Structure 1
Amino acid sequence: MELCTKKRPPEEERRVKANAREYNEKFQYASNCIKTSKYNMVTFLPINLFEQFQEVANTYFLFLLILQLIPQISSLSWFTTIVPLVLVLTITAVKDATDDYFRHKSDNQVNNRQSQVLISGKLQQEQWMNVRVGDIIKLENNQFVAADLLLLSSSEPHGLCYIETAELGRSESNRMEEPIQR
């Protein structure tokens, strides 16, 4: 399985041949793997703490804690500052970890959805993350699409195709239905 984080060189122009995986692979186009999660097991703690200390309030309380560790400056115990700071950081980290866990699950679900791809003249089931630039895909009514597509044909009268863009930004507020005529 390819990782979604694989870096690609910037594209200047695109040359694509339909249904020619070998030809299109030499251009190293981006994969169709979706990654909306921010963290992994290794990067969670450092990135999350860095993001949390971008907040002025958290930085302020950290500065107060450092000052309270110097007995000549502070008459208060360091305990009065570290408990609320650690509590806020922990609650925020748990919330961020939970959100990211659900992003990982959602990414995995989308990446593993099945589609019908024309490969070597035959329609084959393929996971969305394995769909490549130039692949010909057969879609059916109300089928989910996790890629940018060029519509070649439609079974609707006058070649109409209705696209619901509810998945854009993963928000229901973005929900639209657009007719596209070929």
Structure 2
Amino acid sequence: FNQFRFFLNMYFLVVAGSQFIDILQVGYRWTYWAPLVFVLLITMCKEAFDDFHRYLRDKEANSQIYERLTSFGYEPIPSSAIKVGDFILVHSNQRIPADMILFRTNIDNEGSIFIRTDQLDGETDWKLRKAIPSLQKLESSSDLMKMDATMIVAAPTDEIYEFTGNFANDSLDEDHVEPLSLDNTLWANTVVASGTVIGCVIYTGKDTRSVMNTVGAPLKVGILDLQVNRLAKILFVLMVLLG
């Protein structure tokens, strides 16, 4: 139906439809419908081609293999199977598959890393992210599976520059609570610039910042099409006035 947003297409549709009224019929009906159907079919094929390529890109992204930390070590998992609460290992130059909280990194004792966010916000500057201090101090990543912890985060939103939450690790102290901020986040479709990180998934699929900020594919319209559409409106008005 997007094609009938163009005045010219709508005009020819109305004219072609009017040929089914005997008093308005001029010539053969197929001479009106054939050109209209031909143009619409070509446009539909082009849009189907674009949709198919988007489908292939989505399928490739959803089939990428990551490593999930379990009680028995790391196991491979496709990005489409990742769920909230999973501990996911992400290597350098690898795309982050879901919105996560940075738990640990192998860069330094401070747990600081850099990520590239150009696919999310268009900015080329690397962003600094920090691991949760108490988890960065653990002897090994396997200790994450032994802890008794609770993480409270805000409801999903499209704000990529805001985040609040709390992390309570009862394994250390019943009153041990660490605040979470934007510095602790790893948004989906950003890329780890260096090092290896382990994050806990907090949002997946449609709840991620990336998807919530995605605008539907716009209808591609050339400048020539816009000019023709504008001229068609002018000619129609002139035809009505002269008639």
TM-score, normalisation: structure 2: 0.47
Aligned residue among 93, 103, 117 for 1:142 = 93
Structure 2 match to 1:174: 122
Equivalent residue runs for 1:11-90 within 5 Å: 50-90=1-41
The Cα offsets for residues 106-158 of structure 1, whole Å up to 9 and x where unpaired, read as 11111110001012342100000101101111111111222111111223344
Query: SS in structure 2 opposite 1:97?
Result: helix
The Cα offsets for residues 36-94 of structure 1, whole Å up to 9 and x where unpaired, read as xxxxxxxxxxxxxx333344332222111011232321324333322221122111111
Query: SS in structure 2 opposite 1:144?
Result: coil
Cα distance between partner residues in 1 of 2:27 and 2:17: 12
Structure 1 match to 2:80: 129
Is 2:71 aligned against 1:99? Answer: no
Cα distance between partner residues in 1 of 2:39 and 2:92: 48
1:178–1:64 Cα change, 3 Å: same
Equivalent residue runs for 1:142-161 within 5 Å: 142-157=93-108, 158-161=110-113
Give structure 1 stretches of 5+ with no counterpart: 1-49
Give structure 2 stretches of 5+ with no counterpart: 131-243
Asked whether the equivalents of residues 164 and 176 of structure 1 are also in contact (C-alpha less than 8 Å), the reply is yes
The Cα offsets for residues 151-179 of structure 1, whole Å up to 9 and x where unpaired, read as 112233443322223444xxxx9353432
Which structure has more strand as a fraction of its residues?
2
Structure 1 match to 2:239: none
Structure 1 vs Structure 2: percent identity of aligned residues? 30
Asked whether the equivalents of residues 52 and 58 of structure 1 are also in contact (C-alpha less than 8 Å), the reply is yes
1:98–1:160 Cα change, 3 Å: same
Asked whether the equivalents of residues 113 and 128 of structure 1 are also in contact (C-alpha less than 8 Å), the reply is yes
Q: Which has the larger radius of gyration?
A: 2
Q: How many residues are paired up? A: 129
TM-score, normalisation: structure 1: 0.62
